[in-house]
Chains A and B, each alone.
Chain A
Amino acid sequence: MRVHAKRAVALAAGLLLPVTVMADWTMNMSPGVTSTSNQIFSLHMTILWICVAIGVIVFGVMFWSIFAHRKSRGAKPANFHENTVVEVLWTIIPLAILVAMAIPATATLVEMYDTTESDVDIKITGYQWRWQYEYIDDDFSFFSNMSTPRDQIRNRQAKGEHYLLEVDNPLVIPVGKKVRFLLTANDVIHSWWVPAFGVKKDAIPGFINETWTRVDVPGTYRGQCTELCGKDHGFMPVVVKAVPEEEYNEWVAEQREMAEMERQLTEKDWTLDELMERGERAYATACASCHQADGTGLPPAFPALKGSQMALEDMEGHIDIVVNGAPGTAMQAFGNQLSEVDLAAVITYERNAWGNNTGEMVTPKEIFDYKNQQ
């Protein structure tokens, strides 16, 4: 069946256009890498071919009439307008076909709903516009943001291989284990989809949904949010890395350690120098692409920070714009993207670098309190 599909696909593609890049003409669903996705694929192909067969018969009769029973060819119309036997038949036969389709569909569905006996439980929370992954049994969580640079989206830079389908922190899962996902959302409804797993489930604020997968082939799998969730709905990809179990365990241990460190950093008493040092690094990754490494920006879209009134005087405004962004401009809200430590460090850095030398310092605790006041 699959061979036929490929032939049909190739034929159709050949007819459609003088072929430019064959590799990109994906026309069919991918069978995926899980048993669920394979079952879905075979259901999809079965139904497709049943539809094609019915189509060939119905359209065949129709085109026969169109060519053979033309008035211009002297066809004289018949006058029949009823035939109970035929009418009963073409009610019953489709019904039988439908029943035949429903049986495998039901079996697949029942299996998809079996979330028991999971090895790893991960809570997925949808935010506008990022995903948060929480490893329930291991006490750590992180955000996963799209990492495609704005310059690529704005066509100022060549687009990378995984344009729009790349993130800073992918979800990592072990291969061969049953992973159970618990989905919810913070603000609006999102939907978490990885085509290669055959998994798509809505993340609904205030409610918890569950689904599962078991991936047998290590690799990186990409998907997207599929429920309209506002402005950046198209920019919240899902990236999942399936890795061998030992690698997974190492990674988990590392993450737990880092989570612990992060907790300590927020509590710690920071000096200006420490914040400046950390701020320089955070600035380079989060801010420099627009405001430039020397703080001169690219006016008018990206104002200079060096010598700016806000960085020199208006501390409250400065914290506000970094945490909440400036709506309607390219300035994003970094409040949920950076940790309190990094936010404090970046703001401190911007107020003291490039000759801004205010000598003022913002601590992680102050950022935390500021966020809470909102």
Chain B
Amino acid sequence: MSEQTGEKTPERKSNARVIGWCLSGVVGMFAFGFALVPLYEVFCEITGINGKTGGRYEASATQQVDENRTVTVQFLASNGPGMTWKFRPVVRSVQVHPGESVTINYYAENPTDQPMVGQAVPSLAPSEGTLFFHKTECFCFNQQPLEAGESVEMPLIFIVDRDLPEHITKLTLSYTLYDQGKQAEVSKSDRAQTTTNNNG
């Protein structure tokens, strides 16, 4: 019997080591699962793969306008589930030269008899163009509160980058407008504010 316990001691030790390694692997992979969220976001920001356009663009130097090239930018609007606002772009599409700063408007109206808050979420097709579409001002950077019956024209100022790949001739920018709850629900709109700041 004593011989057996003598044998067991080193074995137990090495078991503890294996368990230790495995558990750190488990914890590491669990953390990795969550890390995939910001990693994916960073990855998307670098590559633009999911078509989510970036936050406010700070132009380091004003770009030269490329007069020889014209790109069509098309605007779409959708309402999220249960969103009752009227929401549409004022113009369907515009022709722009890469490098030029363009302003367009979206129209929003709250036809209900209550104040509401909306948040627009952008998406661009083709996603390849995402990196080359810069917004210097956008209503999607902030939540939009509207009083009952109030309507508003919301500006979007953007620049299409001169480096936009040659084969892209048309960009489609789509906004989906989501109901962020009645203004009274402060906590809910607070969290929406924090989450939406990252993705503009």
Interface positions of A (Cβ within 8 A of B): 114-118, 121, 123, 125, 136-137, 182, 184, 186-187, 205-210, 368-369, 371-374
- Are A210 and B172 CB-contacts (below 8 A) given A136-B74, A137-B92, A184-B78? yes
Contact B169 A208 (CB under 8 A): no
The secondary structure that dominates the A interface is: mixed
- Please name all residues of chain A whose beta carbon is closer than 8 Å to the beta carbon of B79 when the two chains form the complex: 186
- Are A205 and B167 CB-contacts (below 8 A) given A136-B92, A184-B174? no
B contact residues, total (Cβ < 8 Å): 28
Taking the closest CB of chain A, its distance from the CB of B33, in whole angstroms, is 21
- Please name all residues of chain B whose beta carbon is closer than 8 Å to the beta carbon of A374 when the two chains form the complex: 82
Chain A residue nearest in CB terms to B114 = A373
- Please name all residues of chain A whose beta carbon is closer than 8 Å to the beta carbon of B78 when the two chains form the complex: 125, 184, 186
Contact B76 A186 (CB under 8 A): no
Mark out the residues of chain B between 100 and 128 whose CB falls within 8 Å of any chain A CB in the assembled complex.
111-113, 121, 123-126
Among A116, A368, A371, contact of B170 (Cβ-Cβ < 8 Å): A116
Across chains A and B, which 8 residue pairs bring their CB atoms closest together, nearest first?
A: A208-B174, A372-B84, A210-B125, A208-B123, A372-B112, A207-B123, A208-B125, A206-B176
- Please name all residues of chain A whose beta carbon is closer than 8 Å to the beta carbon of B50 when the two chains form the complex: 207
Assembly CA distance A209 to B81 (angstroms): 19
Most chain B beta-carbon contacts within 10 A, residue among A125, A186, A207: A207
- Are A116 and B168 CB-contacts (below 8 A) given A207-B51, A208-B124, A373-B112? yes
Contact B111 A372 (CB under 8 A): yes
Question: Per-position contact with A for B130-156: 1 when CB-CB < 8 Å, else 0?
Answer: 000000000000000000000000000
- Please name all residues of chain B whose beta carbon is closer than 8 Å to the beta carbon of A136 when the two chains form the complex: 74, 76, 92
Contact A208 B84 (CB under 8 A): no
- Please name all residues of chain B whose beta carbon is closer than 8 Å to the beta carbon of A187 when the two chains form the complex: 81
B80 within 8 A of A: yes
Taking the closest CB of chain B, its distance from the CB of A272, in whole angstroms, is 25
Mark out the residues of chain B between 143 and 200 whose CB falls within 8 Å of any chain A CB in the assembled complex.
167-170, 172, 174, 176, 178
